[in-house]
Every structure is written in structure tokens, then in C-alpha cells.
Amino acid sequence: MIPHQDYKTEADRHDAMEQILRQHRHSPDALIEVLHFAQENYGYLPRELLGRLAEQLKLPPSLVYGVASFYHGFRLEPRGRHHCTVCTGTSCHIKGGTALLAELERRFGISCGETAPDGSFSLDSVRCLGVCDLAPLAVLDDDIISAETIDALADKVCQCLAEKSSTGKSP
């Protein structure tokens, strides 16, 4: 889980990036490690950052962007304050995981992989979370949410989200 880094200033983040680049001696081979660190540091990979990394690692910017966009693990857009992941693995699929995803997409008006325009919520899917006995399931921030039916599960997700938003608790 990516630690929440709101307390960090831009200067702190910049210093951390400089340090990791020095550790890897600005070697182009270290691109993926550096991208992983950058994502932990910033929460996602902003385009300006990719440009800066390309310059510092002496790599073409298009290559850096290509690598970052190729792997599903790298995010080029910031996530919402609350993030919901729906499992669409085999067990969950049989139990209606894909239908759950469609239902959540309908309720929040965003498609899978997108963030709500106000940045409050983002939705994503994953192949398997390894808790198939609870299928179908969704994960809201760190909490696993499971229910018998798709509708009940979608209701639960909305309810949990409302609670989290009202208490102002960040993940």
C-alpha cells in the first residue's frame, strides 16, 4: 500500500528523488526501480516528473513514457482520495464481479481506471486478491467489502464511502 504522503513538501519529494537517482548512479538500467520509487513518493507519475527523470537518466522521454504506460502498476493519473478496487478474478467473475464493476461504474458515473472529476473517488479492477472465499468482493482503501448480492455489495461500498468521507479519514 502506498503510504499517504500529504505531510511531505515538494522539496522533500524532490530531495528523495535526487537521493534515489544518486543511489542508482543515474544509470538508465535503473528506470523501473526509479519509477517505482517516484510513484511511492508522489502517488502517481506526473508527466513533468517523467520528463525530468528521462533527462537525468539520459533516456529518451518517449521511452520513459512508453515504459510507464506499458505496466499496469504505474499510474499516470492521480488516484482519488478514496480508491475502490473490484476483483474480477475467476471466482469473483463467476459470482458477478464484472457485474459489480459495471454497477459501481454506473453509480459513480466513472469507468474503471478513472477518477471522479472532484478527485474524491477512483475505481479500478484487479485480477485476483487471493480471498476467493469472500467472492464477489471489492476493496475500499484498505477494507475488504463483501456481500451476497451485487446490489447489496454496491450499497455497502457507497455506505462505507459516505462514512469515510464524513469522518474525513484518509486511507
Partner 1 sequence: MPRLSLTINGRAVKARQGETILGAARERGIFIPTLCNLDGLKPLGGCRICLVEVRGHPRPVPACATKVEEGMVVTTDSERVVSMRRMVVELLLAERNHQCPVCVMNNNCELQAVARLLGIDHVRYDFIAPRAVLDISHERFGIDHNRCILCRRCVRVCDEIEGAHTWDVNGRGAASRIISDLAEPWGLSGTCTDCGKCVQACPTGALFAKGTETTGKGTICLEKLVAWRQRREP
Positions in the binding site for partner 1 (CB under 8 A):
47, 50-51, 54, 60-66, 69-70
Inter-residue contact 75 to 38 (CB < 8 Å): no
- Beta carbon nearer to partner 1, 68 or 154: 68
Q: Which amino acid is at 72?
A: H
Residue among 3 and 66 whose Cβ is closer to partner 1: 66
- Smallest distance from the beta carbon of 153 to partner 1, in angstroms? 29
Is the CB of 62 or the CB of 166 nearer to partner 1? 62
Shortest spacing between CB 72 and partner 1, in angstroms: 9
Nearest C-alpha neighbor of 50 from the set 42, 156, 73 = 42
- Min dist CB 135 to partner 1, Å, is 26
User: Smallest gap, in angstroms, from Cβ of residue 75 to partner 1?
Assistant: 13
Query: Do residues 112 and 101 lie in contact, with contact meaning Cβ atoms separated by under 8 Å?
Result: yes
- The kind and range of the H/E element at 126 are strand 121-126
Residue 107, amino acid: R
Q: Are strands 137-140 and 143-146 parallel, antiparallel or unpaired?
A: antiparallel
Count CB-CB contacts under 10 A for residue 130. Answer: 7
C-alpha cell at 132: 476467493
Instruction: Pick between residue 54 and residue 157 the one whose CB is nearest to partner 1.
Output: 54
Name the minimum Å distance from CB 114 to partner 1. Answer: 14
Which residue number, 53 or 84, has a Cβ lying nearer to partner 1?
53
144 three-class SS: strand
Q: Residue 140: which of 66, 87, 65 has the closest Cα?
A: 87
